[in-house]
Amino acid sequence: MKISYRLRDGWVRLVGIPLIAFTSHIIFFNEQHYQEEQFGYWEVFLISLVEAVLLWETNRLVLLYFHNRFPKAEQWPKRITGIFLGCIVVTIFVRYLNIWLYDQTLFWGYIFPPEGYLYNILIALLYVIIVVGIYEGQFFFREWKQAFEEKEELKRTALITQLESLKAQINPHFLFNNLGSLASLIMDNQERAVEFVRELSSVYRYVLKANEQHLVPLSMELNFIQHYFHLLKTRFESGIELEIRIAEEYLSYYLPPLTLQVLMENVIKHNSILPNQPLLVKLYSDEADNLIMVNNRQAKTLIIGSEKIGLANIRKKYELLHQGPVIIHETADVFQVSIPLLKTASDAITDSRR
């Protein structure tokens, strides 16, 4: 079996094995038998140390097996049950075989009575339960700590997304272009001007509220992007087109908020938009539960502030959510981004990270 899970237990073994050997040595060295012990105090300790290593390492293999067999967070009942039963079976077998070999070789100079077998096995089981409890307690604490840290990192990343989106919306170029469009509409068509203000208000409202949750339904993102695209359409008119083909079943799927706005900003930033050479943006879903945005490439000769922060931010979010990768495919003619959709918000609950 290929081991992917690793027990970070160097210090536990370094301290635990000698401690078990010493305490068991204290318990068993003073036992009264029909004849005197043929080994000295420290010789018995070394024998106890070998027994402790054997018992510890065999049970450690049980832990490794069941952590790899049931690695997901929601599989913890099966994992704990398997570890509990597996360690009991292994401990009984190892300890029984150990004492049986002593009897066969008369290693101690006497034969263990039946109650001696039971006594030794019960003591070993007590040690194993304590040690396994320490292992699992350490494991769950580490998982909780990692989940907490990733949750905080996700909050921070979401806040960065919100700030970047707000910065994009309120930078002078954006405001100048939209206010210029609004001024033109007020002079030519007041009804469209009112509609434009409503769309602009919807965009800002969504951006301001987007940081309240880590995931939103795709239907909300699509509703937002249509408001956002209305502003772009007013500004660029026939220079830009948006085609949306999303299967209805995917509308209830989830993704990080402002994802579509970041992708659209990336398209606008890197491409020339001309009335006689329109920029066509297509947004569609595939059968692999992915949301895909693709556009024809009309690369600008000079791009100001192109650090690709937006795409890196989206990738970082999906890494924290432990979902499939964000895939970017580009050729001389097209630029495409594929983003996994989550069936439920609970899909983002992290698994054990090995």
Q: How far apart are alpha carbons 108 and 36 in whole angstroms?
A: 9
> Which pLDDT score, from 0 to 100, does residue 295 have?
95
> Which pLDDT score, from 0 to 100, does residue 89 have?
93
Q: How far apart are alpha carbons 296 and 236 in whole angstroms?
A: 16
Q: How far apart are alpha carbons 88 and 57 in whole angstroms?
A: 14
CA-based nearest residue to 106, from 35, 10, 188: 35
> Which pLDDT score, from 0 to 100, does residue 237 have?
84
- Say if pTM beats, i.e. exceeds, 0.75: no
Q: Which tens digits make up the pLDDT trace of 49-71?
A: 888 888 888 988 998 888 888 88
Q: How far apart are alpha carbons 21 and 23 in whole angstroms?
A: 6
Q: How far apart are alpha carbons 266 and 282 in whole angstroms?
A: 14
Q: What are the b/e assignments for 181-212, b being 16+ CB within 10 Å? A: bbeebeeeeeeebeebeebbebbeebbeebbe
**Homologous superfamily of 171-348 in CATH?**
Histidine kinase-like ATPase, C-terminal domain (3.30.565.10)
SS (H, E, C) the chain: CCCCCCCCCHHHHHHHHHHHHHHHHHHHHCCCCCCCCCCCHHHHHHHHHHHHHHHHHHHHHHHHHHHHHCCCHHHHHHHHHHHHHHHHHHHHHHHHHHHHHHHHHCCCCCCCCHHHHHHHHHHHHHHHHHHHHHHHHHHHHHHHHHHHHHHHHHHHHHHHHHHHHHHHHHCHHHHHHHHHHHHHHHHHCHHHHHHHHHHHHHHHHHHHHHHHCCCEEHHHHHHHHHHHHHHHHHHHHHHEEEEEECCHHHHHCEECCCHHHHHHHHHHHHECCECCECEEEEEEECCCCEEEEEEECCECCCCCCCCCHHHHHHHHHHHHHCCCCCEEEECCCEEEEEEECECCHHHHCCCCCC
Q: Which tens digits make up the pLDDT trace of 153-206?
A: 877 777 677 656 655 654 555 666 667 767 767 767 677 788 888 888 888 788
> Which pLDDT score, from 0 to 100, does residue 175 have?
62
User: Is 221 within 8 Å of 259 (Cβ atoms)?
Assistant: yes
> Which pLDDT score, from 0 to 100, does residue 254 have?
93
> Which pLDDT score, from 0 to 100, does residue 312 have?
84
Domain boundaries, the chain: 10-148, 171-348
Q: How far apart are alpha carbons 291 and 260 in whole angstroms?
A: 10
Pairing state between β 290-296 and 279-285: antiparallel
> Which pLDDT score, from 0 to 100, does residue 163 have?
58
- Spans of the chain, pLDDT less than 50: 1-3, 32-35, 170, 349-354
* Residue 71 backbone dihedrals phi, psi, to 5 degrees: -80, -20
